[in-house]
Amino acid sequence: MSDIATSFAADDYEYPKSAPVDRAERGPLDDQEAGSVKPAIDLGAVRIEPRRGLQMRLEVEKTNNRVVAVTLEIDGSTVQVQPFAAPRSTGLWLGIRQQISDQVSKQGGTVDARDGEFGPELLAQVPVQSGGQYSTRTVRFIGVDGPRWFLRGVIGGPAAGDPAAADTIHEVFRSIVVVRGDTPMPPRELLPLKMPPAADNPAATAAPAEPEADAAG
């Protein structure tokens, strides 16, 4: 199963927004809430706060060189981040979470729906194939509905299964600032990401994106 999608299938049901009660104070923030006081790496629709030990990888589609996801790694754990356009008054995460759960189950994985640091989340055992061998890996799918945007995270490594190892990756996710912009976009479409200026983060790397997940539409 791929963790990368550039859109999600439409859902006729209107869901309430899902976000931590302290989102507007602790993040993830909208750029109108955050301002521009802190230094940040500009990736277009998201701004990343630099911190010691943080590594960044951009997932790029081979066909058109479009950046489709940002993976942040620290202390052996990762969080893959994607920002999507969303409605002003309703949320996306509760519907998308169900799509992801159905997809993982269809591919032979297992899913545990639970509440976490950011509200409803999924703890999944995802099937993977490497060198002809099949196994599973533990990942956590998290999501936050903000003002006209939705931010999805896929946590891997120790922070996916060990709560004691999750604090730092949670801080990294909360420190993200989403730049929605004024351009009209349909809900569930990926907001535009870009490579950072070399001076902002010379250690950033780019990697080919995996094929889109079946739940993407």
- Tally Cβ neighbours within 10 Å of residue 80: 20
Q: What is the pLDDT of residue 39?
A: 84
Nearest to 104 by CA among 120, 125, 121: 125
pTM for the model: 0.88
| Mean pLDDT for back-to-back runs of 10 residues, the chain (217 residues) | 57 86 96 82 95 94 92 97 96 95 94 97 92 90 97 97 94 97 94 81 57 34
- Distant-in-sequence, close-in-space partners of 206: CB < 8 Å, separation ≥ 6: 57, 58, 59, 60, 67, 195
**Dihedral angle computed from the Cα positions of residues 14, 1, 144 and 91, in that order, rounded to the nearest 10 degrees:** -10
Q: What is the pLDDT of residue 172?
A: 97
